[in-house]
Chains A and B, each alone.
Chain A
Amino acid sequence: MFLKQLKTRFSKLFIKSNRHLFRELVFAKFKITDHNSVLGILWNVIVPISMMAILYFVFRSTFEHQINAYPFYILIGLAVINFFTTATSHIIKLFSSNRELILNASISREIFILSDLTIPIYKFIIELIICLAFSIFYGFFSLRLILLIPLLFSYIAFVVGTGIILSLIYCFARDIEHIWFILCRIFLFVTPIFYKLEKLPHLMHKIIYIFNPLVPFLISFREIFIREDGINIINYSYALLFGGFFFILGYLIFIFLENVAMEKA
């Protein structure tokens, strides 16, 4: 019964009119994003590079001697955390910001999730392209970069799953927006963006690895981009599975709660 419902849902999701609507929503979002901006697309390069420069100058005296290609190391960390915080902040208001459209047009609600994600994904991909340029500059560029593709999909899946769960909670208790804002600030410090996880005390290292879901992804991104040692296959596989698991979990909760959430939004 549930599988049949899921099948109908998917077949409806990929119909031509939904594909057209998705395309138009994405066009609209891109047009509005750079509207009235003098530098436009360049901001997507300027922001991460300037953030990287600031962190580099603040922390280089403490960490540069411990970490190879330190500016690049920071940049990868920033790309991973920026995508997580911006994408989840976009999706958290999914139901309330699209309420009028959801209540007045029969559109698959997944279309809103996907279209809301396009700008953060686009920015993330630009940041990854900058990372690729850095990997060429530092001489790390190799075939192992192919491993980025499944990791990228898994990371996006993880972020979507998290975002969906947050958007549902937001319909019942808007406090989650403020709690999430605080948590995102905490993530900035408990994710090894500018420091090395191994340099922390053993217990702290374990706690951060277990309780911070971004860490396995960040470690894998770094191992792929910065060719120092081999890739930790267990960590890489864990990241892949974790992303898929979170996406399925978020989507199942979404299917069960979307109508109730819509009425509450």
Chain B
Amino acid sequence: MSNICIEVNNLSKRFLVLKGEKTFLRTLKAVFRRQPLKKEIWVLHDISFSIKKGEKLAIIGCNGCGKTTLLRILTGIYGKTFGYLKINVEPKALFKFWVGLNGELSVMDNIYLFGAVHGMDRHFLKENMDKILDMAELYELKYSSLKELSNGQMQRLALSVFFQTKSNFLIFDESLVFVDQAFANKCEKYFEDLAYSDKTVIMTSHNSSFLRKYCRTAIWLEEGRIRMSGEANHVIDKYEEQVKLYG
């Protein structure tokens, strides 16, 4: 059986973006003169790498370098434009924490809904309800409507549910941004366990000490291309040098 979770070869992704402000007149002109209203933007160019089972990979790079797009392709949300992509293990990804939560429902109902979005069934979530509510520190508010919670509380709830997933391949895209120190300490325990588990993990974050601590390998993306890949500390050092030099 293959030891590779995901294999990517010369993967590229193109988006079409508007050349200028879209007006009715410009749309008409574009139709009659057969001039395209949009231009191509290549978000990812010739990306090649593979992830072994159990690997802990960090993806670093400045905003807009293509990290989230790459992760969305790996999770099957976006299709690729060119290249080869083989996914042997389906990942479970946490992108924006609020996606899958519904303000009109109670905290408990949101646990079921958010859990289902991330592949967990009601029976499993019922069994782990106390654990989730304890971790999120929302036990007293379990029947309250989600809209009564602060953003921080919602994030704690979402992370506490997502941490229960049994998937062997996890993706975290800037998931710990905005988390307060007390909850960050709780998350440490989870990520420490994860770092020593046989699960495959991909993380993106602008917190380099966090990535150094839990990832063994890293890929540095720059303008949609792989600038460097290899041992996490080395790649992150080089990236930080670059950031210090050029901002």
Chain A residues whose C-beta falls within 8 Å of the C-beta of B199 in the assembled complex = none
Are B109 and A20 interface neighbours, CB within 8 A?
Answer: no
Q: Are B116 and A31 in contact (CB under 8 A)?
A: no
Annotate B65-101 by CB proximity to A: 1 below 8 A, 0 otherwise. Answer: 0000000100111110000000000110101101110
Take A28-B105, A106-B75 as given contacts and tell me if A20 and B113 are in contact as well, using a CB distance cutoff of 8 Å.
no
Q: Which A15-41 residues have a C-beta within 8 angstroms of B?
A: 16-17, 20-21, 23-25, 27-28, 31-32, 35
A252 at the interface (CB under 8 A from B): no
Contact assessment for B99 and A104 in the assembled complex, using a CB-CB cutoff below 8 Å: yes
Instruction: Determine if A32 and B116 form an interchain contact, defined as CB atoms under 8 angstroms apart.
Output: no
B116:A104 contact, CB within 8 angstroms = no
Q: In the complex the two chains form, is A32's CB within 8 Å of B72's CB?
A: no
Residue B116 contacts which of A21, A35, A106, A263 (CB distance < 8 angstroms)? A21
Return 29 A-B CB contacts under 8 Å, by A number: A17-B119, A17-B120, A20-B119, A20-B120, A20-B121, A20-B122, A21-B117, A24-B113, A24-B115, A24-B116, A24-B122, A25-B116, A27-B109, A31-B105, A32-B104, A101-B99, A101-B117, A103-B99, A104-B93, A104-B95, A104-B96, A104-B99, A105-B99, A105-B100, A106-B77, A106-B91, A107-B117, A259-B78, A263-B16
Q: Known pairs A24-B122, A27-B113, A28-B109. 14 more at Cβ < 8 A? A: A20-B121, A25-B113, A27-B109, A27-B112, A28-B105, A31-B104, A35-B104, A100-B98, A101-B99, A103-B77, A104-B100, A106-B90, A106-B91, A263-B16
Residue B49 at the chain A interface, CB threshold 8 Å: no
Residues of B within 8 A of A102 (CB): 77
Binding site for B on A (CB under 8 A): 16-17, 20-21, 23-25, 27-28, 31-32, 35, 100-107, 259, 263
Which residues on B sit within 8 Å (CB–CB) of A105? 77, 93, 95, 99-100, 117-118
> Do A100 and B121 have beta carbons less than 8 Å apart?
no
B42 at the interface (CB under 8 A from A): no
Q: Does B15 contact A (CB under 8 A)?
A: yes
Which 3 pairs across A and B sit closest by C-beta, in order of nearness?
Answer: A24-B116, A104-B95, A17-B119
Q: Which residues of chain B have C-beta atoms less than 8 A from A106's C-beta? A: 75-77, 90-91, 93
- Cα-based distance from A111 to B117 in the complex (angstroms): 11
Cα distance, A46 to B39, chains bound together (Å)? 53
B233 within 8 A of partner (CB): no
User: Which positions in B face A, CB cutoff 8 Å?
Assistant: 15-16, 72, 75-79, 90-91, 93, 95-96, 98-100, 102, 104-105, 109, 112-113, 115-122
The docked-state distance in angstroms from the alpha carbon of A28 to that of B78 is 27
Bound-state Cα–Cα, A35 to B121, Å: 24
Contacts of B100 in A (CB 8 A): 101, 104-105
Smallest Cβ-Cβ distance to A173: which chain B residue: B27
CA distance A125 to B91 in the complex (A): 39
Chain A hits for B104, CB < 8 A: 31-32, 35
Which residues of A have CB within 8 Å of B99? 100-101, 103-105
Tell which of B72, B93, B98, B105 has the most Cβ of chain A within 10 Å: B105
Q: Which residues of B sit under 8 angstroms from A24, Cβ to Cβ?
A: 112-113, 115-117, 122
CB < 8 Å neighbour of B72 from A20, A31, A100, A103? A103
Q: What is the bound-complex CA distance between A24 and B72, given in angstroms?
A: 24
Enumerate chain B residues within 8 angstroms of A17, measured Cβ to Cβ. 116, 119-121
Contacts of A35 in B (CB 8 A): 104
Please give, as numbers and ranges, the residues of chain A lying within 8 Å of B102 by CB-CB distance.
28, 32
Whole-angstrom CA separation of A20 from B126 in the bound complex:
13
By a CB distance below 8 angstroms, the chain A residues around B112 are 24, 27
Complex CA distance for A103 and B78, rounded to whole angstroms: 8
Q: How far is the CB of A101 from chain B (nearest CB, A)?
A: 6
Question: Shortest beta-carbon distance, B203 to chain A, in Å?
Answer: 16
B230 to chain A, nearest CB (A): 28
Q: Which of chain B's residues has its CB closest to A35's CB? A: B104
Kindly list chain A residues whose C-beta atoms are within 8 Å of the C-beta of B118. 105
Which of B15, B105, B116, B117 is close to A23, meaning CB atoms less than 8 Å apart? B116
CA distance A263 to B14 in the complex (A): 11
Q: How far is the CA of A103 from the CA of B72 in the complex (A)?
A: 8
Taking the closest CB of chain B, its distance from the CB of A100, in whole angstroms, is 5
- Which chain B residue shows the least CB distance to A19? B121
Most buried by A among B77, B98, B102, B122: B77
CB of A248, distance to nearest CB on chain B (Å): 23
Which residues on the B side are within 8 Å of A16 (C-beta)?
121
- The smallest C-beta distance from A35 to any residue of chain B, in angstroms, reads 6
Expressed in whole angstroms, the Cα–Cα distance for A103 and B73 within the complex equals 10
User: Quick one: closest A residue to B106, CB to CB?
Assistant: A31
